[in-house]
Amino acid sequence: MVSFKPTDEQELIRKTMTDFAREVLRPRAREADEANRVPDDVVARGWELGLVQTTIPEAQGGYGDARSAVTGAVLLEELAYGDLALALHLLTPRLLTIPLVVAGTEEQRARWLPRFTGLEFSVATAAFIEPRWDFDPTALATRATRRGGDWIITGEKCLVPLARDAHAILVYAGAPDGLAAFIVEGKAPGLTVGEREKNMGIKALDTFPLRLEDVRVPASSRLGGEGTDVRPLVDAGRLASAALAVGVSRAAFDHARDYAKDRRAFGQAIAQKQAIAFMLADMAIEIDAMRLLAWEAASRLDKGQPATRECYLARHYASQSSLKITDNAVQVLGGHGYIRDHPVELWLRNARGFATFDGVAIV
């Protein structure tokens, strides 16, 4: 029988992340959303927690163990339960550190990973999604071509988190031998970071468009070297989105359930009304289904089994279900769900992003 019961270590991580989400992220979520920025003290607390350093092996100055996608899914769910935008900001450097650990060469790890083991938040990011209506992760319009001993990268990206301050950006592009990723310095000639994007939700997270015009990088900048298959990193990104969606959905469900138990109409709690009770039951079922799909995909990644199908299904189902769950949470609160006195409208706006944002987190 297959079991997805977390280990004792994973339960400890869950508790630590839950406490951090409840005590640090949730209380600052509204402030961050209104101000369109992440408070500096939240960034500092997140860095102290070791969210990035635990992805880095001891040999490069970190204190990470072997990578576990299941553990990553547990961690991301709990952080998103606190707040999605704040969580994504704190997790953004992992968009480079995890790919380096999973697929990077020894030289690449030695050069870049020690930069994330200091006492202050170090910014790196990844550029994956493109501003095209027919965006296809398996057929990127951003292209990388060989010229002498270098690679020349040309294309456009959007929704790149923290790009303005990043000292390194992992750029995904199509190469002659398939999908590839390249480590590009943040100030590389030909790389232009556009104006901060104005998004409907996840407003506290700084995202930017990028333009790459004949950006030249040495051959050694290709992640893992010639012929490295980076498609598993795309799978891990899809899984991350699914896990984050579970956290947002759980937050919305918990708030709606508690409100329905406290709110009274016609002499009884509205949770006792059949329409509300059935809606809450359906939300709970959807959340468990989302989580199990994500954990199944994570388990396959950890076992080294093909997981593209499972990761895609988990992300697709989560993006649809999270939107339905957060919308239902607004419905449970009625008129109160539409005003900003309650966080459900924020969660609904954030959940809308799961169908659009791609490649902004990784496990």
- Per residue in 316-336, pLDDT tens? 999 999 999 999 999 999 999
**pLDDT at site 3:** 66
What digits encode the pLDDT tens for the residues 118-148?
999 999 999 999 998 889 888 999 999 999 9
Domain ranges of the chain: 8-116, 125-221, 231-355
The CATH architecture annotation of domain 231-355 reads Up-down Bundle (1.20)
Exposure string for 100-138, b = 16+ CB within 10 A, e = fewer: bbbbbeeebbebbbebbbeeebbbbbbbbbbeeeeeebe
SS3 at position 109: helix
125-221 CATH:
2.40.110.10
Single-letter amino acid, residue 21: A
List CB contacts of 170: < 8 A, sequence separation 6 or more: 95, 96, 99, 124, 125, 126, 127, 181, 182, 183, 184, 223
Return phi, psi of residue 178, to 5°: 120, -170
Pick the CATH number of 8-116 from 1.10.3720.10, 3.30.360.10, 1.10.540.10, 1.10.10.10: 1.10.540.10
Same topology between domain 8-116 and domain 231-355: no
Q: Whole-angstrom Cα distance, residue 131 to residue 202?
A: 18
**pLDDT at site 33:** 98
Q: Whole-angstrom Cα distance, residue 77 to residue 53?
A: 19
Q: Whole-angstrom Cα distance, residue 101 to residue 97?
A: 6
**pLDDT at site 2:** 58
**Within the chain, which residues score under 70 in pLDDT?**
1-3
**pLDDT at site 5:** 79
**pLDDT at site 6:** 83
- State the pTM of this model: 0.96
**pLDDT at site 64:** 79
- Give the residue carrying structure tokens 């697709």: 316
